Amino acid sequence: MQLKMNKRRDHVFITCSLFYSLILSYSGKYRFICSLIVKRSVVFNCFNFRLNKILHDLIGGRKVKFVSIEKEEILIKNMAKVYCKAFEKTNFNEMIERMKRHVEYADFKGIVAINDENEVVGFTYGYRSLEGQYYNQLMREALNLEQVEEWLQDCFEFVELAVHPQHQNEGLGTKLHNELLKGILNRTSVLTTQINNEKARSLYERLEWVNILEPFHPGTNDVPYIIMGKTLKTKVN
């Protein structure tokens, strides 16, 4: 039904556009008079409606709602799909297992973005970074003692941020980022991203993340990463 309505609207739009163009092709006073009539007509309203919709989509006007991530099989699978599409990965099953494990971590917090069609179009999550966690240990081994003291003692690890390719460049990544860090009580937050991921690095730098260590090698075969940090509240001595 929705598809039929959209097609009908498009047909009306084309008809309106042609009629409007024909009227504007008149010369002299007739063109002026016809233009005034059209501006007050249903034809012009139809044209205006379609134009506004195009502009609405172009500026990222599509509505999404943010909900907390729960340990639900279907939700986690949809998140894994978005992750694989966003980063052009194929490790779908691995991501499902990793997310299931991360949901159980201390002070886990996650936000998922859902569109009008009830589809997951983006997500982000993190948790308290603690000794004994795999990634926390890797960072401790890579950083010096001063950096560990500064960044990992009271830290929220910003683990993932992914937006479906069809919803990128709409400001959704920034909104997810801000929603996740809202209300976090830790003093600092850290994240890692690949050195060559210029898009992600640009986003985080704009959101006031700073470089802590570059390069960082979490695995022997991995592309080099960078560790970035953000101060969430002032350190009390």
User: Per-residue pLDDT tens for 114-140?
Assistant: 999 999 999 999 999 999 999 999 999
Mean of the pLDDT values across residues 59-80? 86
Instruction: Determine the Cα–Cα distance for residues 129 and 147; give it in Å rounded to an integer.
Output: 14
Q: What is the pLDDT at residue 220?
A: 74
Query: Which is it for strands 188-194 and 109-115: parallel, antiparallel or unpaired?
Result: unpaired
Q: What is the pLDDT at residue 109?
A: 98
Given pLDDT bands bounded at 50, 70 and 90, which one contains residue 62?
low
- Whether the bond between 215 and the residue before it is cis, its omega within 30 degrees of 0, is yes
Instruction: Determine the Cα–Cα distance for residues 207 and 178; give it in Å rounded to an integer.
Output: 9
Higher pLDDT, 189 or 22: 189
Parse the chain into domains and list their residue ranges: 2-58, 64-231
User: Per-residue pLDDT tens for 12-43?
Assistant: 444 444 444 444 444 444 444 444 444 444 34
Given pLDDT bands bounded at 50, 70 and 90, which one contains residue 63?
confident
- Spell out the residues 6+ positions from residue 43 whose beta carbon is closer than 8 angstroms to its own: 16, 19, 20
Percent of the chain with pLDDT over 90: 68
In whole numbers, what is the pLDDT of the chain averaged over residues? 82
Given pLDDT bands bounded at 50, 70 and 90, which one contains residue 219?
confident
Distances 191 to 32, 118, 135, 194 between C-alpha atoms, Å: 61, 29, 10, 10
Higher pLDDT, 18 or 113: 113
Higher pLDDT, 53 or 188: 188
Q: What is the pLDDT at residue 71?
A: 87
Please tell me the least confidently modeled range out of 26-30, 134-138, 158-162, 166-170. Answer: 26-30
Instruction: Determine the Cα–Cα distance for residues 125 and 103; give it in Å rounded to an integer.
Output: 9
Instruction: Determine the Cα–Cα distance for residues 55 and 118; give it in Å rounded to an integer.
Output: 23
- Residue pointed to by tokens 């993340």: 209
- Spell out the residues 6+ positions from residue 70 whose beta carbon is closer than 8 angstroms to its own: 103
Higher pLDDT, 34 or 169: 169
Percent of the chain with pLDDT over 70: 72
Relative orientation angle of helices 2-24 and 42-58, to the nearest 10 degrees: 120
Instruction: Determine the Cα–Cα distance for residues 66 and 120; give it in Å rounded to an integer.
Output: 10
How many helices (DSSP H) and strands (DSSP E) are in the chain? 9, 7
| Phi, psi for 89 (deg, rounded to 5) | -105, 165
Q: What is the pLDDT at residue 204?
A: 99
Whether residue 216 contacts residue 155, with contact meaning beta carbons closer than 8 Å, is answered with no
Q: What is the pLDDT at residue 83?
A: 98
Instruction: Determine the Cα–Cα distance for residues 108 and 128; give it in Å rounded to an integer.
Output: 7
What three-state secondary structure class fits 160?
strand
Higher pLDDT, 193 or 34: 193
- Spell out the residues 6+ positions from residue 16 whose beta carbon is closer than 8 angstroms to its own: 43, 44, 46, 47, 50
Element holding 114 (H helix, E strand): strand 109-115
Superfamily of domain 64-231: Gcn5-related N-acetyltransferase (GNAT) (3.40.630.30)
Relative orientation angle of helices 198-206 and 172-181, to the nearest 10 degrees: 50
Residues forming a β-bridge with 163: 122
